[in-house]
Amino acid sequence: MNLCYAERTSSIKASEIRELLKLTEMPDIISFAGGLPAPELFPIEKLESITTRVLREDGRAALQYSTTEGYAPLREIIAKQRMPKARVKATLDNIMITSGSQQGLEFSAKIFINEGDVIICESPSYLGALNAFKAYQPKFVEIPMDDDGMIVTELEKALEENPKAKMIYTIPDFQNPSGKTMSIERRKRVAELAKIYNIPVIEDCPYGELTFEGEQYPSIKSFDEDGYVIYLGTFSKTFCPGLRIGWVCADIEILQKYIIVKQGADLQCSSIAQRETALYMQTYDLDEHIANIRSIYKTRRDVMLDSIEKYFPKDVIFTRPKGGLFTWVELREDLDAAIILKDALEEKVAYVPGSSFYANGDRANHFRLNYSCMNENLTLEGIKRLGSVLKKHY
């Protein structure tokens, strides 16, 4: 048997993270490789009582087919309760429910990208997005970042050089993988540039609410008056990923495209998961829950950064993220984090090597560390081990 696949299928490959997750799940490995939220914080008992209520009060509808755009009360509460956190005014007509924000990413490429079109993205960027986009055979133009996120003068240059670029993809808050956050000034400018260059911005915001210091920044979409910004939200990091509930918030006309694509893709999200998520937010205080997540992740970040400070070679560079789940480590330019990983695995500690986070895949001296799902003692021990592995190479 030698079937003839579509061209796009040859250019997509299994995500390194998810393949690695298998390796790093071996017992007694201290793995900083995943991107998992802390499961001990999932509101399991509350969800039990919510689910019981949904099934008793509305069981038939909860198990039946429903509309593609999603359960109206959930869209409503997202518009009224979650979007204002990002300083966005929206109504339920701007919201479509997706199977995680991953689905919003995939749909964005499907809606905007013809083969060969240019996607402008941060360097590095979320590899799950890059892989989803790659199926549509785009060209990537990578924009370097500094401590204030994507460098917008570089973005502007890229827009000038690529006047037909089809979308800008950005993760402005506590970026995966770099942990960096885009400044407010730059957010404003990105919104302006979108209008000037008539190009949509895909603003991917799984971590915005997980800020450890001060207020959540206003989203790029909050500076967007004309609908150029498509905001992707998700409950994966603020509630739980297992229900697979995320959303797209966009201009009504653009959203119509997402709805049509959703219809073809899987008809709709789980009717019951949508009701559970809505009823949870109607019954309990999600903000209080998020405050709890923040404070625990903040402690874990502190332990990780302090341990890095203490145990890593002095000239290793790393991000001091002000929220989110990740820090990003930069090694000396001649080192390859994928090769060092083998040594690390022998010492029973794991991370994700950085090269797959580069759209055009050409930088090897970085890796990503996750601190959200590891207790303080193990974090300390793991970083210590990693430090001695690194010191052998320095």
Ligand X SMILES: Cc1ncc(COP(=O)(O)O)c(C=O)c1O
106 binds ligand X (CB under 6 A): no
Q: Which is nearer to a second copy, 340 or 373 (CB)?
A: 373
Structure tokens of 325?
């789940």
Kindly identify the residues of this chain, within the stretch 197-226, that bind ligand X according to CB under 6 A.
204, 206
Residue 318 in contact with residue 391, Cβ under 8 Å?
no
3-state secondary structure of 350: strand
Kindly identify the residues of this chain, within the stretch 119-158, that bind a second copy according to CB under 8 A.
128, 131-132, 134-136
Angle at the Cα of 69 (from 47 to 78), degrees rounded to 5? Answer: 50
- Residues in the interface with a second copy (CB under 8 A) total 88
- Of 98-106, 155-163, 295-303, 315-323: span binding ligand X (CB under 6 A): 98-106
Compute CA distances 157 → 112, 188, 193, 334, 352, whole Å. 21, 17, 11, 29, 31
**C-alpha to C-alpha distance for 204 and 102, rounded to whole angstroms:** 9
Interface characters, 79-108, with a second copy (x: CB under 8 A): -------------------xxx-xx--x--
- Of 36-44, 184-192, 285-293, 327-335: span binding a second copy (CB under 8 A): 36-44
Q: Which of 124, 246, 321, 353 binds ligand X (CB under 6 A)?
A: 246
C-beta of 252: minimal distance to a second copy in Å?
Answer: 12
C-beta of 256: minimal distance to ligand X in Å?
Answer: 21
Q: Which of 68, 236, 319, 365 binds ligand X (CB under 6 A)?
A: 236
Residue 138 in contact with residue 12, Cβ under 8 Å?
no
123 binds ligand X (CB under 6 A): no
Residue 238 in contact with residue 247, Cβ under 8 Å?
no
User: Helix crossing, 100-112 with 127-134: angle to 10°?
Assistant: 40
Q: Which is nearer to a second copy, 259 or 338 (CB)?
A: 259
260 binds a second copy (CB under 8 A): yes
393 binds a second copy (CB under 8 A): no
**C-alpha to C-alpha distance for 129 and 238, rounded to whole angstroms:** 20
User: Distance from CA of residue 343 to its chain's centroid?
Assistant: 28
| Interface ranges with ligand X (CB under 6 A) | 35, 100-102, 126, 128, 171, 176, 204, 206, 234, 236, 241, 246, 267
